[in-house]
Amino acid sequence: MYAQLVTSEGGKAREAMTPEEAAFQDRIDRGEKIEPKEWMPEGYRKTLIRQIGQHAHSEIVGQLPEGNWITRAPTLERKQILLAKVQDEAGHGLYLYSAAETLGVSRDELIDLLHAGKMKYSSIFNYPTLTWADMGAVGWLVDGAAIMNQVPLQRTSYGPYSRAMIRICKEESFHQRQGYDIMMKMAKGTPEQKAMAQDALNRFWFPSLMMFGPSDKDSVHSAQSMAWKIKMNTNDELRQKFVDQTVPQAEYLGLTVPDPELKWNEEKGGYDFSEPDWSEFFAVISGNGPCNEERLGARVKAWEDGAWVREGLMAHAKKQDARRAAARVAAE
């Protein structure tokens, strides 16, 4: 099952396509949306399951680094806001699992694959959140990078995914603003608070750049995913846009982006910047990041601890079905 879900075909030349595949590609090229019951190439379905599933897992695992700070938020207002944000991420995970289910895979199957370490989630959530300033950096940079990637996905070719993205993007933009608001308070606060904000930026800058995936030359899925409009931009295009948008925001905060190579390039109309450490990225996505074990362990424990709730709900649903069936028989 795992192999079936995670394999995606390479880009296919038109001459190599079957008539069905060519007609499907024409629909994509015309900008039509593909809906669940319609014919689709197996590779398209598997690539979507991989990407949407990974995205759903990221939302769910992504609750952990912030959930860690709910009880320690500095004010009641900040606690309420953070609680609402973390709850939103759970909702995003649910829309995305539902979108994946329209492709013929169940939520339980996807969760089993995650727990077995056979499906990925975003690398960023394998880094620790050490101080309150990290809540600012996560909202500003991590949600900022997530939006940069997800706004174009609102136009993705698969209907349920594109519709889920529209709602998710609206909520993510609030998340980013709340993060930037925390950063503003810290950066304009005492010297100690400003130092915490700078430290959070130092630790989250390169991991945030890694969220966009490997550089284009190492991206195995981009060519086919872009032909199918499952992805709308390459990893490097979005990373560049993110840097160009974020550097002026750091300057406004009076903080320094931790990259000595960062420099405005007039000719290209964007910043030149250092590549992240790709060996670190590949270690993190292979399970060897600073918090991989802790994150997955927390998810597996939550799943096991929640078994009695799922069983109770199923038993209740079965009883209700039986009562409705009995009432129908009595009414006939």
Residues that bind ligand FAQ (CB under 6 A): 6, 50-51, 54-55, 58-59, 62, 89, 120, 122-123, 138, 142-143, 146, 149, 210-214, 219-222, 225, 231, 235, 285
Nearer to ligand FAQ, 231 or 299 (CB): 231
Residue 277 and residue 271: Cα distance in Å, rounded?
18
**Rounded to the nearest 10 degrees, how much is the dihedral formed by the CA atoms of 196, 124, 287, 86?**
90
* 62's tokens: 């992504």
Closest Cα partner for 292 from 300, 284, 280?
284
Residue 15 and residue 143: Cα distance in Å, rounded?
41
Q: State how far Cα 272 lies from the chain centre.
A: 26
Q: How far is the CB of 39 from ligand FAQ (least distance, A)?
A: 23
Nearer to ligand FAQ, 286 or 320 (CB): 286
Nearer to ligand FAQ, 264 or 278 (CB): 278
Q: How far is the CB of 332 from ligand FAQ (least distance, A)?
A: 50
Q: How far is the CB of 316 from ligand FAQ (least distance, A)?
A: 31
- Which residues lie below 8 Å from residue 225, measured CB to CB, with a gap of 6+? 8, 47, 51, 231
Nearer to ligand FAQ, 62 or 160 (CB): 62
Q: How far is the CB of 28 from ligand FAQ (least distance, A)?
A: 16
Q: How far is the CB of 216 from ligand FAQ (least distance, A)?
A: 8
Q: How far is the CB of 224 from ligand FAQ (least distance, A)?
A: 9
Nearer to ligand FAQ, 219 or 256 (CB): 219
Closest Cα partner for 129 from 58, 69, 189?
69
* 260's tokens: 């000595």
- Nearest residue to ligand FAQ, scored by beta-carbon proximity: 62
Whether residue 137 contacts residue 181, with contact meaning beta carbons closer than 8 Å, is answered with no
Question: Burial letters for 56-89: b for 16+ Cβ neighbours within 10 Å, e otherwise?
Answer: bbbbbbbbbbbbbbbeebeeeebeebbeebbebb
Q: How far is the CB of 294 from ligand FAQ (least distance, A)?
A: 16
Q: How far is the CB of 213 from ligand FAQ (least distance, A)?
A: 3
Whether residue 50 contacts residue 8, with contact meaning beta carbons closer than 8 Å, is answered with yes
Q: How far is the CB of 21 from ligand FAQ (least distance, A)?
A: 20
Nearer to ligand FAQ, 120 or 229 (CB): 120
- 261: three-class secondary structure by DSSP: coil
- 271: three-class secondary structure by DSSP: strand
* 165's tokens: 């993205």
Closest Cα partner for 239 from 219, 225, 266?
219
Nearer to ligand FAQ, 50 or 229 (CB): 50
- 39: three-class secondary structure by DSSP: coil
Pairing of strands 263-265, 270-272: antiparallel
Residue 194 and residue 196: Cα distance in Å, rounded?
5
Nearer to ligand FAQ, 138 or 194 (CB): 138
Nearer to ligand FAQ, 40 or 137 (CB): 137
